[in-house]
Structure 1
Amino acid sequence: MNITHARIVTLPVSDQERAKDFYLSVLGFEVVVDRRTGPVRWLQVAPPGAQTGFTLATAEQGFTPGSATGIILETTDLDGDCSALIEAGADVEGPTDLPWGRQATLTDPDGNSLVLAAQAPAGA
C-alpha cells in the first residue's frame, strides 16, 4: 500500500454558508474549493497548510446533517485553542486527561462531533 494521508473527509451539513462561517470564523480553517456544478455546490475547507480537507455536503448531495463522529483535530496548544473556541461561542467540553492523552470535544452547528486533541505523547 502507498496511501499517504486522507485527502477529504465529508461533513454533512444543513446549511453550507452557516457551516462555512463556523469552520472559518471559529476553527480558523480556510476555503480550499468553492464552486458550483449545476445545482450542487462543492465547498471544501481545511486548516491552513493541511493535507486533509473537509467537504461541507448537504442533504441534496445525499448526506444527513450532523451524522459525522470521530473526527479528531490535533493541536499544539489544546488549552489555548479551547479558550479561543469558547470566546468564539463554541460549546467546548474539556480539556480532559485520558490514558492516551488530553482532548476536548465540541460540535459544529449541525451537530457533527469533533475532538480537539493535544499532540500524542511519545509512544502513545
Structure 2
Amino acid sequence: MSLGISQVTIYVEDQQRAVDFWSGKAGFTVTRDMPYGEDRWIEVEPPAGGTRLVIIKADPKWPALVKDMPNYVLFQADDIVKTHEELAARGVEFTQAPKQEPWGWSAVFKDDEGNLFHLGQR
C-alpha cells in the first residue's frame, strides 16, 4: 500500500495574516489561493516540498481552539538550530528555543494567529 498525507488544515481568524506569516516569515510557497464560499481556499507548501497546509477561516460559532498548547503538527528540519536562527531572523516568534529532549531535539514556535507548532529535527 502507498499511503501518505497531502494536506493538513489550519483554522485561522484572518486568512491574509496567516498567508503573510506562512509565505513571508516561514518561507512557504502559496500553491493555491481561490474563492471558497465567502472566504478563500489557500494552500501553502513548505520550502522542502511535501505536505501542504490548507489555511481555512474558522467559523466564529466553533469552540475556541485551545490556546497555549501546540497543535499536533510537527515540522522537521535537518538542522533545528540553524532553522530556528533563520526563522527567528525573519520574525517568527519561538516560545521554546531548540533544546535536547529525551526523544530528540524540540522547539515551539507561534504563528501570527497565536497558534503554536512543534519543530523537530530529522
- Fold conserved between structures, TM > 0.5: yes
Change (3 A) 1:18 1:64: farther
- Report how many aligned residue pairs link the two structures: 118
Give yes or no for contact 2:26–2:87 (8 Å, CA) kept in 1: yes
Query: Equivalent residue of 1:116, what SS?
Result: strand
Gap regions ≥5 residues in structure 2 = none
Aligned to 2:90: 88
**Are the aligned partners of 2:5 and 2:51 in contact in 1 as well (CA < 8 Å)?**
yes
Distance 2:8 2:16 in 1: 18
The residue type paired with residue 86 of structure 1 is: A
Q: Which runs of 5+ in 1 are unaligned?
A: 120-124
CA 1:49–1:81 in 2, change beyond 3 Å: closer, same or farther?
Answer: closer
**RMSD (Å), alpha carbons:** 2.2
TM-score scaled by length of structure 1:
0.82
Q: Secondary structure at the match of 2:93?
A: coil
**Which residue in the other structure is 1:50 paired with?**
49
- Distance in 2 between residues matched to 1:78 and 1:26, nearest whole Å: 16
* Identical-residue share of aligned pairs (%): 28
Quick check: which one's strand share is greater?
Answer: 2
* C-alpha displacement of 1:100: 1.3
1:26 Cα deviation (Å)? 1.2
